[in-house]
Amino acid sequence: MLSREDNDLITQTNQGTPMGNLIRRYWVPALLSEEVPHNDCPPARVKLMGEELVAFRDSQGRIGLIGEHCSHRGTSLFFGRNEECGLRCIYHGWKFDVDGNVLETPAEPGQSDYAKKLHHTAYPTHEANGVIYAYLGAKEQQPLFPNYEWTQVPLEHSYVTKCLLECNYLQGLEGECDSSHLSFLHRNFTNESNQPVYKGDPAPSYDTQDTDFGVRLIATRNFEDQHYVRFSAFVMPVYGCVPAGRKTNELEGYEIHTYVPADDTHCWRYDIGFHRGRVVNPEEVHRRKQINPDYTKVCNARNNYLQDRHKQKTLSFTGIDDFLNHDGCATESMGAIFDRTKEHLGVSDKAVIAVRRFLLASAKDLTNGKEPPHLVSEQAKNWFPHIDCFAHLVPRHVPWQKKFDFLTDSADKENPMSYAARKKAAS
């Protein structure tokens, strides 16, 4: 369990909080490209870590992420006119560009230089494969945008969905760091995909490794005369990389489930997936059917996640359709912010504990003046994080550490090639 002080520290993300300050040092998803689909289109509301913002794509295609409330007298810029490379307030016509410069204050005298003395809240953005990322930290500390593999593949090789979770970000993130729940929460009563593995051994053994990017998470299950080894990763500050929807021994890519705080009681879940060697089939992105146009979930707490008790007896462990809704039910039903002083952790929670410790240590270190891990500087602009995410069957007599020895070789961390890239190069 966590102390009440640590539970508050790790869950509170508004401006000025230790965790809020930490997350603001990284690039995080802010919205989807489809929310501002073309130049001069209507702006979109964005809420991140308690801040009310609006995003807009200007006449040149640049993306602005600025404070929602006009610097003049607070009218919402969501209702503003997006025109001629700026967003204009409907109240008195004040106009702002993507960098927060006040371009015009037309209600002021013509000779006034008032606008030059003002600056509106604005944050840098970076668009990659259907996602618009933002950096909400201090300008002088802005890192380079990391060249994650999922941002570098061709657009048609990737996919993304977004939905609102009505709970604290940590509850969603912790679910990505817990392989034992695959044997229960996502179980169906067929033999599809990896179901026999998860049914056969519901109590995997865990190994964790603190790394340059976060925590590598290794869950090992017994399966016939083999070990089923599942490698996933927590990547700073709110990314969970999992081999979801991938067959055993497949090295075609993985999914990145990201939990970005909207405020302390809501978060945005982004599911980003990619394939290294093929385009995405539309039917693979089945979660879109579970999400409303406003990015709320079709199945939610108000309709009991459309649980079917007959299906629960005959088809699946939960009687709820789709992994997204399984996760939503499990994490949202804990409450808006779960009180971790009341939990009772077991051996199966080893990876969750490791990730909590990493986050807490990083937040406390930052408060004490130590730079956070996994920030890309100009000196390391060609650096690639060594993130491996896959599931593999290994003979029982072969320890996974021997099979995947490069993961435990500290000297090898300088090599940017992932396991999948190495295997492909060697074949």
Q: Is residue 219 part of a domain?
A: yes
Can you list the pairs that 77-81 forms with residues at least 24 positions away whose Cβ atoms lie under 8 Å? 77/43, 78/43, 78/44, 78/45, 78/54, 80/43, 80/54, 80/56
| Separate counts of helices (H) and strands (E) for the chain | 10, 19
| pLDDT confidence of residue 385 | 58
Query: Tokens 């049914």 belong to which residue?
Result: 199
Query: How far is 163 from 287, CA to CA, in rounded Å?
Result: 10
39 in the same domain as 177: no
Q: Is residue 124 part of a domain?
A: yes
Q: pLDDT truncated to tens, each residue of the chain (427 aa)?
A: 899 999 999 999 999 999 999 999 999 999 999 999 999 999 999 999 999 999 999 999 999 999 999 999 999 999 999 999 999 999 999 999 999 999 999 989 888 888 888 999 999 999 999 999 999 999 999 999 998 989 999 999 999 999 999 999 999 999 999 999 999 999 988 766 667 787 888 999 999 999 889 999 999 999 888 999 999 999 999 999 999 877 788 778 899 999 999 999 999 999 999 998 899 998 889 899 999 999 999 999 999 999 999 999 999 999 999 999 999 999 999 999 999 999 999 999 999 999 999 999 999 999 999 999 989 876 665 555 568 788 889 898 888 887 776 565 443 444 434 544 544 444 3
253 in the same domain as 399: yes
Query: How far is 167 from 156, CA to CA, in rounded Å?
Result: 32
The set of residues, in sequence order, having a beta carbon less than 8 Å from that of 216 and lying 6+ positions away, is 208, 209, 231, 233, 388, 407
355 in the same domain as 422: yes
Q: What are phi and psi of 126, to 5 degrees?
A: -145, 125
162 in the same domain as 46: no
From 90, 112, 141, the end of a domain falls on: 141
Domain of residue 246, CATH code: 3.90.380.10
- Find out whether 33 and 55 touch, Cβ atoms under 8 Å: no
Domain of residue 99, CATH code: 2.102.10.10
What is the CB-side half-sphere exposure of residue 139 using CA atoms within 13 A? Answer: 6
Q: What are phi and psi of 96, to 5 degrees?
A: -125, 140
* CA pseudo-torsion sign 296, 241, 348, 191: positive
Query: How far is 323 from 346, CA to CA, in rounded Å?
Result: 24
| pLDDT confidence of residue 350 | 96
From 111, 141, 171, the end of a domain falls on: 141
Q: In the numeric block, which tokens belong to residue 86? A: 């700026």
- Find out whether 55 and 46 touch, Cβ atoms under 8 Å: yes
Domain count, the chain: 2
Q: Is residue 12 part of a domain?
A: no
234 in the same domain as 197: yes
298 in the same domain as 252: yes
Q: Is residue 8 part of a domain?
A: no
135 in the same domain as 155: no
Q: Is residue 262 part of a domain?
A: yes
- Find out whether 97 and 103 touch, Cβ atoms under 8 Å: yes
What is the DSSP-derived secondary structure letter of residue 106? Answer: T
Which structural domain range is residue 407 located in? Answer: 149-426
Strands in 243-389 per DSSP E = 255-263, 266-274
> What pTM does this model have?
0.92
Element (H, E) at 355: helix 350-367
410 in the same domain as 290: yes
Q: What are phi and psi of 408, to 5 degrees?
A: -110, 5
- Residue 230's DSSP bridge partners are 219, 391
Say if residue 79 is exposed, middle or buried (CB neighbours under 10 Å; 0-12, 13-18, 19+): middle
264 in the same domain as 123: no
Question: What are the residue ranges of helices labelled H in 153-270?
Answer: 169-176, 195-200
- 317-346 residues labelled b (16+ CB within 10 A) or e (exposed): ebbbbbbbbbbbbbbbebeebbebeeeeee
| pLDDT confidence of residue 315 | 92
389 in the same domain as 297: yes
- Find out whether 65 and 46 touch, Cβ atoms under 8 Å: yes
From 141, 171, 192, the end of a domain falls on: 141
192 in the same domain as 116: no
Q: Is residue 5 part of a domain?
A: no
| pLDDT confidence of residue 427 | 38
Query: How far is 351 from 93, CA to CA, in rounded Å?
Result: 53
102 in the same domain as 167: no
- Find out whether 108 and 117 touch, Cβ atoms under 8 Å: no
Q: Is residue 21 part of a domain?
A: no
The set of residues, in sequence order, having a beta carbon less than 8 Å from that of 373 and lying 6+ positions away, is 212, 213, 214, 236, 362
| pLDDT confidence of residue 197 | 84
